[in-house]
Each structure stands twice: as structure tokens, then as C-alpha cells.
Amino acid sequence: MPVEKKYETPLLDQLETGEWPSFVKEIKAAAENNAMANDLLGLLEQSYREKIGHWKHGGIVGVMGYGGGVIGRYTDLPDKYPAISHFHTMRVNQPAGWFYTSEALRTLCDIWDAHGSGLTNMHGSTGDIIFLGTRTEELENVFSKLTAAGFDLGGSGSDVRTPSCCCGKARCEWACYDTMGLTYYITNRYQDELHRPAFPYKMKFKMSGCPNDCVASVARADISIIGTWRDEIQVNQEEVRNYAKSGLDITKEIAMLCPGKCIEWDGNEIQIDNSNCRHCMHCINLMPKALAPGKDRGAAILVGSKAPIVEGALLSSVLVPFIKLEEPYDDLEIWEVIENMWDIWCEEGKNRERIGEFIQRVGLGNFLDAIGLEPQPEMVAFPRDNPYVFYEEYFEEEEDQ
Amino acid sequence: MSDAQPKRLTDIGPPHYQKFLPPIIKENYGKWKYHEILKPGVMVHYSETGAKLFTVRAGSPRLLSTKKIRIYADLADKYCDGHLRFTSRHNVEFLLTKEENIEPLIADLEALGHPVGGTGNAISSLVHTQGWIHCHSAATDASGIVKAVMDELLPYFKTIDLPAKIRVALACCLNMCGAVHCSDIAILGIHRRPPRIDKENLPKMCEIPNLIASCPTAAIRPSQYQGKPSVEIDEDKCMFCANCYTVCPALPLNNPLNDGVSIWVGGKVSNARHEPMFSKLAIPFLPNNPPRWPEVTNAVKHIVELWLKNAKKHERIGEWIERIGWPKFFRLADIPFQKEHIDDFKHAGLSYKRSVHLTYM
Amino acid sequence: MALDIEKVKEAMYKLVKDSAGMKKWKATDLHKACEELFGDEYDKRGIGKDAIKELVEEGKLVYTYFGGSYLEIPHKEGAAND
């Protein structure tokens, strides 16, 4: 149904020019038929005028039985913009790898046109399909139609957040394990943890197929599963020569930039000292036709990355230097490690303390003790350089000797 | 569509990805051998079976109307049997088996206003957050800055021969829903005024012990207001993280006079060559100047152009700066170095220069 | 005799109700309190998890989010517009 234009938007209109696709055009397109999108235009123009947002954070709306998947929002100007007096986000769990058919996309659009603002994010930062803006009374309607179409809500709050991954074996020769298969498995294994928040704070999984880490798992996931290999890089010398012929300076652009300094090029063949290879991917990235990760493939598992809130940003650090990730996934030992981590974190963690911060607070050594893993040199960049060691036991002279 | 309510299902998880994969991917899953970038935004993947899969990647504003998604779906039907995907940086990718469909698809995408590019040594779309479109704690807008920045950087989206890839991201507050802290250039909204306390509503909205515990610098203390428990803030201790506001909506930090944008540089997440790195502070504060944030777009463009001019091949921004040293970066960029650049949170001392490896020219 | 889930639900509900407005309960807090109340019979991964799930599905408790997820007695939220 057509909706009459309600607002002049001279500031936003200036973002319709230029060659990059314009979000203002998207909102205006939705506003032609949707009163919520129309009021959003008016509100956003006011924010642009006043240089301040006009949203209140809701903390209680959701679908029945779930504690995640819906982010409550209300404008602080409901009288002026009544259509967005409620404007809740729904996070819809994306298919692994973000592959769709046109039919599936149209189904999602039909649901959202009938019950929401007609505006989305494809996708949110964590990976979900974001349905941007609806009313409290529409949440169950959207949810029932989504589940009928085979979709479910993603995570929010202190729960397992929607796991995401790179396209892996679907379209990448560098995938060292089946990222999409494992992501699908993890998402289903932890449905309860995803929908019913039971943790001190959020818990993100991201699966990257190789050390290029296209889903930024080392920076953005509490559990970062990054594909790698532990045998020799596969080399096709003929193709290496072809790269050299086509102008690639193998000594300067590859050998000299190799962080392990383990590559030599004599003008005819490339030699790699694989025992010093750091698995950085640079040489493979530059010569994809000539080099490939080895055949003994798996992943390293790192833990603890997060954005600054509360105690500062962290990158994930190594917990398992190498693991084979092959089906049946049920049989992998890593689930016990992960669930032990959650147990100790739930027992001792503080509200809003991510697992990375928790590990920093209690110390990685103590954390390993608690989850039953042995310390390994791969877990640190270097051993301690301070001598204040917390020894836990000492000898006493025996009394009745 | 009927509005009859179907049976209530829960915990079904996402649809299985296999339902959505094109036949060529099902047949060649795990069998890809290598790929080539044919031109900006166009890749071909070769399988050991001899199959070839073409990908056409186009930029997107991330915020999409259902109308636009339906147009994507129509394009996918027209050119690739209805198969498409999205990338981790919000680009849309069409998955083609017919090479002859590439150019007509590109023409349609460009006509639609969605430029094709973002592959290889280029800038890809900006990962970003919601800003004033949806967020209660935003210190700036997200989509507006992204649009203005990408209008400026578009030539670097439609290329493949920059020194290395460049990843720019924006988060509209320190919560960093966009986790921008490891980007080549991060645009980060910041607050600079301590929270105002809504004393009337605080007791109704917030649990005080939890609120006090939320402050990482212990700047929030218990107090009384009209005989009821309340809090007061030691403003000197506030570092504007807004953690208190997330826990208690009665402590807003949003403030038009003081909110703005900071610029961080030199982060990366890939392991290629250098290990992953955090972005470091380049410009502590730029004003919110909607609708096009000229100070911010100029600063980003300036840093990108400086990198283009000075970097060696394969050096990302952080690798380039690490080679030349931060003092030289500040000199070249003509950015004044000030107190805010020096860390004063935990482990700050690790960032002090502890040698005389210095440059003077 | 095995622990009765209704007893656990009753105990959890009482904990939340009696401290409404003073203390917010996370799922982990309820587990810790129930471990004290019921001792070794209480299994947080089994009966504890089921009890919370049932309380929420019956509408007696509801998940809320204020910088962390909690379980509360259903109430009108402060920020809501009518």
C-alpha cells in the first residue's frame, strides 16, 4: 500500500548523490510502501540536524521462550514518529557461508514486508540476517513464519552468538577444513546455548578456512577456529616458473617477505624449508596456481578475542595448535574442552566479562589447569620475562625422621 | 499469503546451506584448485574436475530494502539460475557458470548503482554498525560516513593493483559491534562528556550495585537522591567507555557538543607476512559534521593516499608504518602528536619507545 | 528419590520474586543458589537447565537484557512507549 511522503529531508538528500550505493535511497524505496520506513526518514533527518541519536534501549522484548534474537528499540520521540515508536531488530540466523537462492531471499522479503519495516542489513556484523525494525506484537508473527520457512533466530545477550564462517570448501582452494559443515554442526549442537542465555556474557564462534582469516575470527570471536596444515606446502615448479615469467619477482616479493625466511628461488625452482614455515599464506596468496596448503590439513583453535568493552580489546590466542576437524564431528574431543571452558567461566566469571578477559584475570596457566589442558609453547609469543612465579606447593622438612 | 498461524517450532537452527548451493558448487565442493582475478570484482575458480565458477562481486550499502533484495534475486535468476551469496564485508556475489553472462550482469549492476569491484589488492566495502539509524549509544552515524568515505575511495574499490588490500571499518561507539580494532583504517565514534545522571528515573530503571560494578575505573560511587539510593560520578576518572549506560539507561553519554569521531590505523587480521595487529590512534578527534563528514572523509583519503605514495609492494598500512616508524608517519601525515596518543590504560608502558631506534628525517 | 523439577522451579521462582528490584539473577546465579539448596542432587546441565526453560515457557520468568542477560518476573519495561 502506498504511503504518502511525510518529511522533507534536505540533509539526507545529499547522501543520494555520489557513486557508492546510497542507504538513503534504500530507506526512501522502502518508505514508498511502509510507514515505519517513512517515519525513520524523518527521525534520521532530525538526528542529522541535531547530531544525536533518538533511540532508547529495550531489554525485555523477545519471542516466547527465547532470551536472544530480538533487540528492543523505542524512539524517544514517539509522538512525532508514531510508526517507529517500537522499532525492534530481529536477528535471523543466516545459512552458513551466506549462500542463498533467489527463492529463499524472496521468502524472507515476503515475511518482512508483511510484518516489519521492509529494511534489512545483509548482513549484521556477527553474520545474521538483520530485520531492522518492527513492533512488539509482530515478533511472534515473524518468528512463526520464519520457522515455517526453515529459518530460526540468531543470538543476542549473554549467549552463544550466531556462528559464522568463510565460504570454505564451497569456493576456496585454501580451505583446510569444511568451515560451512562445522559451522552448521556447531550452530545445531548449541541451539539451547544460542537461544537461552546462560553465560556471563556473549560467546562468539568464527570459522576461517585458512590463515588469511576472511571472517576476522582472530579479532572478533571468543573461539576462533582457523584452518591450517602441518606438512609441506604443495608446489608445482612449472607454474612457479610461469609466475616468474609473467613478471612476479619471486625473490623480492615472496622470499624476502616470508616471515620464516624459509623460501629460496634460484631462477628455476623454489625451495621451501617447511620446518620453518609459519603458515602465513603470503607465498600461496601470490601464486595460487603454483602453491597450495599441504595435504595434512586441520585447524588451530584460538580463544579470547573481543572489542574494547570492558577491559580493553584482545586478539585470540592459541589454545590448540593443531586439530584434525573431520566428520563425525560428534566424536571430536574439542567439545569437552569448550564445555569445560564454559563451566569454569560460568562458575567464576563476572557479569559482562568475556572469556578472554576472564583468562587474563585468572591467568592462562590457571585456566589451562581448570579445563584440563597441558601448557604448550605454541600458546605464548614468548615465555614470561618476570620472575614472580606463583608456586603452589613447597617442600617441608619431614618431622618424624 | 495466508495469515493462519502454523504450529510453533523452536530451536530448528538455520536452514542447511546445501539447500542453497548451486549445482556447480555441490559437484566441486572441496575440489577447487586455484583462482584468478580476471578484473576488478570478477574472479574465476578452477576445479580439479575442469569446472569453472565465475564470481561477480558488487558493493552494497549493507542497509538494503526488500525491494533491492528482490532486484538482486531477479538478477540472480536472469544470469545464474538464482544463485548468489553475500560476503563477510556485505558485498553481494553472483555465482555464474556462463562466462558470457559476466558483462551483461556487470552492466545491470552498474546501472543499478552497485559498483563491481572489491577483490584482490583493493578496498572492499566497509564493515560498519547501525549509528543513528538504530542505536541508542551511537556517538556518530555509521551509514552516512560510510557512504561519504566510499564515494571518495570508489576508484580504489574498482581496481586490483594497490600495494596490498585495505580494510576500512566503522564503529559508532566503543562497544564496536563492528569490531573495527584490527582494521587498516578504523573510524570510531567517541563520546567526550561523562554521563549525565537521570536521578528521577535511575532507581526505577537500574540496579545500583550492578551499575557501580560496571565501571572499569571505579568512577561510579553510591550516593543518595531525595532519600533514595542513587549514584554520583567522579568525572576525572571517566574514560567514556559507556559501559555504565549499557547496564543502566539512566546514564546517557550522547551529547552533540562533545561526540565525534576518531581515526585509527595499521591493524590487520590476516596472518599474511605480519601477524595480526591492532589499529593505533592516528587522529584523536574529528567533529560530527553531517551529512558528509568532510573532516573524516578528508582524513581517511589523506592517509590512504599517503600509503599509496610511500608503501612498498605488499605492505599493508600497518606494515608500512612499522617499517618507517610512527614518528615518521606523523611527520609525513602532518598530524599533530598530542597527549591523547599516549596510552594510559593497562599495560600502557609496553607502548613506550624503549630503544633509540629513531628516525630524524 | 530423584529431585522433583517442580521443587526446583518453585525455588528458582521464589529467589527471583523475593529479590525483585534489589538483585538481578543470571542463569548462573540461579544454578549456584540451587546447588546450595539441593546439594549434589542438583545438576545444572540437566534439571537446572530444564527448570529455567520451563519457567520461561510457562511465562513465569522472562529473559531480559541490560548489559547482560537476566531472568526476571515479567514486567512492563522502562523504555517502552505505549
Q: Does B204 touch chain C (CB under 8 A)?
A: yes
Chain B positions in Cβ-Cβ contact with residue A96 (cut-off 8 Å): 14, 17
Chain B positions in Cβ-Cβ contact with residue C66 (cut-off 8 Å): 206, 246-249
CB contact under 8 A, C28 and A199: yes
Most confident option among A17-26, A54-63, B173-182, B220-229:
A17-26
Q: What is the mean pLDDT of residues B322-341?
A: 97
Q: Going by C-beta distance under 8 Å and a sequence separation of 6 or more, which residues neighbour residue A385? A: none
Find the residue in C nearest to B209 (Cα): C23
| CB nearest A109 (choices: B69, B259, B314) | B69
CB contact under 8 A, A352 and C68: yes
Chain C positions in Cβ-Cβ contact with residue A74 (cut-off 8 Å): 79-81
pLDDT of residue B58: 98
CB contact under 8 A, A166 and B88: yes
Q: Going by C-beta distance under 8 Å and a sequence separation of 6 or more, which residues neighbour residue C72? A: A60, C16, C20, C24, C25, C61, C62, C64
User: What residues in chain C have their Cβ under 8 A from chain B's Cβ atoms?
Assistant: 21-24, 66-68, 78-79
Chains that touch C (3 or more CB pairs under 8 A): A, B
H or E element at residue C64: strand C62-65
Instruction: For B122, list phi and psi in degrees, rounded to 5.
Output: -150, 175
Q: Are B156 and B305 in contact (CB under 8 A)?
A: no
Strands (DSSP E) along A243-296, which ranges?
263-265, 270-272, 291-292
| CB nearest B61 (choices: A23, A145, A352) | A23
- Which residues sit opposite A361 in a β-bridge? none
Find the residue in C nearest to B242 (Cα): C67
Q: Does C69 touch chain A (CB under 8 A)?
A: yes
Which residue type is seen at A363?
G
Q: Which of C66, C70, C73 is the best mutation test for B, with the most CBs of B within 10 A?
A: C66
Least confident of A324-328, B69-73, B240-244, B291-295: B240-244
Q: Does A292 touch chain B (CB under 8 A)?
A: yes
Find the residue in B nearest to C24 (Cα): B207
- Burial class from Cβ neighbours inside 10 Å (0-12, 13-18, 19+) for residue C29 reads middle
CB contact under 8 A, B88 and A44: no
Distance from CA of C15 to the nearest CA of A (A): 17
A401 vs C37, higher pLDDT: C37
Question: CA-CA distance, A171 to B55, in Å (whole number)?
Answer: 10
Distance from CA of A68 to the nearest CA of C (A): 8
User: What residues in chain A have their Cβ under 8 A from chain C's Cβ atoms?
Assistant: 56-62, 64-68, 72, 74-75, 78, 85-86, 136, 156-159, 192, 196-201, 346-347, 349, 351-352
Least confident of A243-257, B158-172, B339-353: B339-353
Report residue B7's pLDDT band, with 50, 70 and 90 as the boundaries: low
- CA angle, residues B86, B91, B92, in degrees to nearest 5: 55
- Mean per-residue pLDDT over chain C, rounded: 92
Instruction: For B130, list phi and psi in degrees, rounded to 5.
Output: -90, -30
CB contact under 8 A, A64 and C59: yes
Cis status of the peptide bond prior to B291, with omega within 30 of 0: yes
Q: Does C43 touch chain A (CB under 8 A)?
A: no
Q: What is the mean pLDDT of residues B304-332?
A: 98
Q: Does C23 touch chain A (CB under 8 A)?
A: no
Question: CA-CA distance, A145 to A108, in Å (whole number)?
Answer: 9
CB contact under 8 A, C52 and A86: no
Q: What is the mean pLDDT of residues C50-57?
A: 96
What ipTM is given for this predicted complex? 0.96
Report residue B4's pLDDT band, with 50, 70 and 90 as the boundaries: low
Q: Does A195 touch chain B (CB under 8 A)?
A: yes
- CA angle, residues B297, B293, B58, in degrees to nearest 5: 55
Chain A positions in Cβ-Cβ contact with residue B182 (cut-off 8 Å): 216, 218-219, 315
Report residue C1's pLDDT band, with 50, 70 and 90 as the boundaries: low
Chain A positions in Cβ-Cβ contact with residue C50 (cut-off 8 Å): none
Cis status of the peptide bond prior to A310, with omega within 30 of 0: yes
pLDDT of residue B3: 54
For the whole model, what pTM was predicted? Answer: 0.96
Q: Going by C-beta distance under 8 Å and a sequence separation of 6 or more, which residues neighbour residue B161? A: B121
Q: Does B114 touch chain A (CB under 8 A)?
A: yes
CB contact under 8 A, B14 and A151: yes
DSSP codes of every residue in B171-191: ESSTT-TT--TTSSEEEEEE-
Question: CA-CA distance, A23 to B186, in Å (whole number)?
Answer: 20
Instruction: For A40, list phi and psi in degrees, rounded to 5.
Output: -60, -40
pLDDT tens-digit map of A191-244: 999 999 999 999 999 999 999 999 999 999 999 999 999 999 999 999 999 999
Q: Does C21 touch chain A (CB under 8 A)?
A: no
CB contact under 8 A, C66 and B248: yes
| CB nearest A95 (choices: B15, B70, B269) | B15
- Burial class from Cβ neighbours inside 10 Å (0-12, 13-18, 19+) for residue B155 reads exposed
Positions of chain A with pLDDT under 50: none
Q: Which three cell numbers stand for residue A137?
A: 506484537
Closest CA to B66 of A133, A122, A30, A89: A30
Report residue B1's pLDDT band, with 50, 70 and 90 as the boundaries: very low
CB contact under 8 A, C81 and A74: yes
Find the residue in C nearest to B206 (Cα): C21
Question: CA-CA distance, B311 to B306, in Å (whole number)?
Answer: 8
- Mean per-residue pLDDT over chain B, rounded: 95
pLDDT of residue A180: 98
pLDDT tens-digit map of A294-315: 999 999 999 999 999 888 899 9
CB contact under 8 A, A102 and B30: no
**A46 vs A5, A40, B132, CA distance in Å?**
16, 10, 10
- Work out how many CB contacts closer than 8 A connect A with C: 90
Q: Does B74 touch chain C (CB under 8 A)?
A: no
Q: Which of B247, B251, B253 is the best mutation test for C, with the most CBs of C within 10 A?
A: B247
